[in-house]
């Protein structure tokens, strides 16, 4: 009987070893599953972080562009403080430098449309074609000839203080 007891104990010991091995294998599989899940989540977090870094760089670039635009606009506003829109004759208005010491406005006159675009373009006087006062005389922009101001043909440069 003691042989049978020893055999039963040996069988139980072998079964316990097998059970421990199965538990260890199951635990390793669980650890691997958890580890895989954690690595997958870490990868997702890294991808999100990378996307956020790209977005951040784009926002920083956009911010730099907006700051540059703002600086240019501030410079244009400051430059416009040196000029004012004045009426000349017949409802014609031009941009002229503010006179110093209470004097009157004098040429050069500047194209208001170009000034709004950040350009400084003097206007030049063009007498009527063929010297005929029945045609218009013009103040023409030197940058954009389409920016012209038609005036009565009898207008002379002296009328405009040229």
Q: Decide: 153 and 132 in contact? Cβ < 8 Å.
A: yes
Instruction: Find residue 123's DSSP bridge partners.
Output: 141
pTM higher than 0.75: no
Kindly report, residue by residue over 112-160, the tens digit of the pLDDT. 888 878 788 888 888 877 766 667 778 888 888 888 877 776 777 777 7
Bridge partners (DSSP) listed for residue 122: 110
Token code pair at residue 131: 């010297």
Give the three-class secondary structure for 115: helix
Lowest mean pLDDT among 39-48, 59-68, 129-138: 129-138
pLDDT of residue 52: 94
Distance of CA 114 to the CA centre of its chain: 23
pLDDT at 98 over 90: no
**Phi and psi torsions of 40, nearest 5°:** -65, -45
SS (H, E, C) 125-150: EECCHHHCCCCCEEEEECCCCCCEEE
């Amino acid at each position: 009987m003691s042989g049978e007891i020893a055999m039963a104990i040996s069988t139980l010991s072998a079964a316990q070893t097998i059970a421990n091995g199965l538990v260890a294998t199951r635990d390793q599989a669980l650890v691997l599953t958890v580890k895989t899940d954690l690595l997958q989540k870490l990868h997702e977090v890294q991808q999100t972080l990378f996307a956020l870094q790209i977005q951040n760089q784009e926002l920083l670039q956009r911010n730099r562009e907006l700051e540059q635009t703002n600086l240019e606009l501030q410079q244009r506003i400051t430059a416009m403080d040196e000029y004012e829109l004045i009426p000349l004759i017949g409802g014609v208005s031009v941009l002229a430098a503010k006179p110093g010491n209470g004097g009157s406005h004098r040429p050069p006159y500047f194209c208001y449309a170009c000034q709004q675009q950040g350009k400084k373009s003097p206007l030049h006087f063009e007498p009527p074609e063929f010297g005929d006062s029945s045609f218009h005389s013009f103040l023409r922009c030197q940058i954009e000839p389409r920016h012209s101001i038609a005036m009565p043909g009898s207008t002379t440069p002296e009328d405009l203080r040229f």
